Amino acid sequence: MSRLELMTWTEVDTYLKRSDGIMIPVGSTEQHGPIGIIGTDSLVAQLVAWRAAKICGALVAPTIGYTPAPFNESFPGTISVSSAQFSNLAAEIALCLARQGFRSIYFVNGHGANVAGLRRVRGSVKNARIRIRSWWEFEEISKLRKRLYGKWEGMHATPSEIAITQHVYGSKLVPLEARQPPKLLSKAYILAHAGDRHGPADQHRREFPDGRVGSHSALASPEHGKQLLSVAAAELARDYLRFLRK
Ligand code: NI
């Protein structure tokens, strides 16, 4: 058993006798373009964590799914909270776990705008070690994303994240417009907007009317998703074990 919410407290107590580590997936609830589902970031982070946990014997806490995405508020279905609120919540979760003996806390991130808030958690949680990694940043997964999609991976509603949800939850029909690539982003744009540093919601929707930010989502396929999930999980499992050994 690797999911906290499916365990009894006595099972957790037993787990703590052999390990002080825990993964916390962190996602978002936001638009992901015309074929990506609203929960993409949360679903992918937790799928990667669940799969990795089976490999490395980790425990996975419930996913934090309400996070900052103010730039997507003009797309219906997006639920955004302030970065401060999110950061406080993540810190309180980590502090509570640390008091029970979880001293190695690994945030598995699925949403660029979470990174700044998660880094602030480090400052407020003194009695536990904190690691923050986004599932797409490991070396092998970066190579695979590049090989599958090249420049069309883009920044948001990426074919790689959508492929993983397709593999597990099925695919949406691709509307005609979404079969075409979106406008290609310049290197300067990508650099300036890393970590989801986007403008106000109305302006963001005007700039990216179908919600894709440089990502050709329609290149995704369930077969790709299967491959991406297994590579990401293997890398996360390895990195989690490295983190515990330190
Ligand atoms: Ni996403």
Give me the DSSP letters along 200-225.
Answer: -HHHHHHHSTTS-BB--GGG--HHHH
Q: Is 231 left (phi over 0), alpha (psi -120 to 50) or beta?
A: alpha
Interval 66-120: pLDDT, tens: 999 999 999 999 999 999 999 999 999 999 999 999 999 999 999 999 999 999 9
Q: Tell me, what's the pLDDT at 246?
A: 82
Of 111, 20, 98, 17, nearest in space to 59 by CA: 20
Residue 27 Cα, ligand 1 centroid: separation in angstroms?
Answer: 8
Residue-wise pLDDT for 13-29, tens only, equals: 999 999 999 999 999 99
Q: Token pair of 228, please? A: 């991406």
Task: Identify whether the C-beta of residue 56 lies closer than 8 Å to the C-beta of residue 18.
Answer: no
Alpha helices in 35-184 (DSSP H): 40-56, 83-99, 115-124, 139-149, 159-169, 176-179
Residues 151, 155: Cα–Cα separation, whole Å? 10
Confidence of residue 199 (pLDDT cuts 50, 70, 90): confident
Q: How far is the CA of 32 from the centre of ligand 1 (A)?
A: 6
The CA 162 to ligand 1 mean position distance, Å, reads 8
Task: Indicate if the pLDDT at residue 1 is higher than 80.
Answer: no
Angle at 27 between CA 81 and CA 78, to 5 degrees: 50
Q: How far is the CA of 120 from the centre of ligand 1 (A)?
A: 21
State in Å: Cα 161 to ligand 1 middle.
Answer: 6
Q: What is the pTM of this model?
A: 0.96
Cα of 241 to ligand 1 centre, how many Å? Answer: 26
CA–centroid distance, 93 to ligand 1, in Å, is 23
Measured in angstroms, how far is the CA atom of residue 126 from the centroid of ligand 1? 30
- Average pLDDT on 53-70 reads 97
